[in-house]
Amino acid sequence: MADTVFEASPDTMIDYDSSQQGDLRTEEMLINMGPQHPSTHGVLRVVLRTDGEMVLEAIPHIGYLHRCAEKIGEAVQPYQYVPYTDRMDYLAGMNNNQAFSLAIERLCGIEVPPRGETIRVAFAELNRIASHLVSLGTYGLDMGAFTPFLYCFREREMILDLFEAACGARLTYSYITPGGVHDDLPASWVERCLEFLDYFETKISDYNNLLSFNHIFVKRTSRVGVISIDDAIGYGLTGPCLRGSGIRWDLRKTAPYDGYENYDFDIPIAKPGGTDEIPEGVIVGDCWSRYWVRVLEMTESVKIIRQALGRLPNGDFIAPKMKNIKLPEDEVYVEVENPRGQLGFLVAGDKSAIPSRVKARGPSFCNLCITEKACKNVMLADVPAIIGSIDVVMGEVDR
Task: Supply the pLDDT for residue 105.
Answer: 92
> Which among 61, 80, 98 is the end of a domain?
61
Q: Are residues 42 and 101 in the same domain?
A: no
3-state secondary structure string across 281-331: CCCCCCHHHHHHHHHHHHHHHHHHHHHHHHCCCCCCCECCCCCCCCCCCCE
Residue-number span of the structural domain to which 339 is assigned? 69-398
Rounded CA separation 378/372 (Å): 11
Same domain, 168 and 256: yes
Cβ within 8 Å of residue 16, ≥6 positions away: 24, 25, 26
Of 34, 61, 88, which residue constitutes the final position of a domain? 61
Total domains in the chain come to 2
In this prediction, residue 64 carries a pLDDT of 86
Contact between residue 374 and residue 384 where contact means Cβ atoms under 8 Å apart: no
Indicate whether 46 and 186 sit together in one domain. Answer: no
Cβ–Cβ < 8 Å for 338, 27: no
Residue at 200: amino acid letter: F
Do 322 and 336 meet the contact criterion of CB atoms below 8 Å apart?
Answer: no
If asked whether residues 103 and 49 sit together in one domain, one would say: no
Per-residue pLDDT at 298: 94
Q: What is the mean pLDDT for each group of 10 consecutive residues in the chain (399 residues)?
A: 44 45 69 75 85 88 88 90 90 92 92 93 95 92 88 93 92 90 92 94 90 91 90 92 92 92 92 80 89 94 94 90 83 93 92 90 90 89 89 86
Give one DSSP letter per residue of 8-53, joined into a string. Answer: PPGGG-EE--HHHHTT-EE--EEEEE-SS-TTSSSS-EEEEEEETT
Closest CA to 177 of 81, 248, 272, 242: 81
Distances (CA, A) of 208 to 16, 90, 151, 170, 260: 48, 26, 11, 27, 28
Go through the chain and tell me how many residues it has.
Answer: 399
Q: What is the pLDDT of residue 114?
A: 93
Q: Is the peptide bond before 148 cis (omega within 30 degrees of 0)?
A: no
Residue 345: the pLDDT is: 93
Predicted structure pTM score? 0.88
- 94: number of Cβ within 10 Å: 28
Q: Do 138 and 26 share a structural domain?
A: no
Instruction: Looking at the structure, tell me whether residues 125 and 268 fall in a common domain.
Output: yes
